[in-house]
Amino acid sequence: MKQKANITGKLIKVATVVALTLGSFLVNANTIAGTGNETEKTIKEHVKFPNIILPLKKQEKVTVLFTTSENGKVNFVFAKTNNKEIKSEIEKQFLQLTLTKLKANVAYSIVLNFKTI
C-alpha cells in the first residue's frame, strides 16, 4: 500500500512538470510572429537616455517590468536598479509608451544593459 502511494505521488509530480513545460511552450507558440520585434523597435526608438546616466559603473543591468492597458498604453512600470536617477528616467519614459501589439494586463519584462565606453 505504501509503495502504491509513493508511485502515485511520483506520477503526479512528473505529470505536473510535464504540464507546466508544455504549457510554457504553448504560450510561446501562441504569440504572433513579429510582435516582439515591433515592440522592441518601438522601445528602442522612444526610450532615450540623456547625460544623466554618465556617472554609471562600467556596466549595469536594469530589469524593467511593465504592463499595458486594453488600448496598449503602458500603465505600470518598475525598474529594478539602485540608481535612483536611472530608475526615475526609465519609468517616466516607459509610462509614455503605447505598445498596441502586447496583450493587456500581462506582466512583461525587459533587461536594459548599460555600458560606459
- Using one digit for the tens of pLDDT, what is the confidence trace for 63-84? 999 999 999 999 999 999 888 8
Q: Which residue has the cell 516607459?
A: 94
Separation of alpha carbons 28 and 111, rounded Å: 19
- Using one digit for the tens of pLDDT, what is the confidence trace for 88-107? 888 999 999 999 888 999 99
Q: What are phi and psi of 99, to 5 degrees?
A: -120, 85
CA 49 to mean position of chain CA atoms? 20
- Using one digit for the tens of pLDDT, what is the confidence trace for 2-20? 666 666 666 565 445 444 4
The three three-digit cell numbers of residue 31, written as one number: 504569440
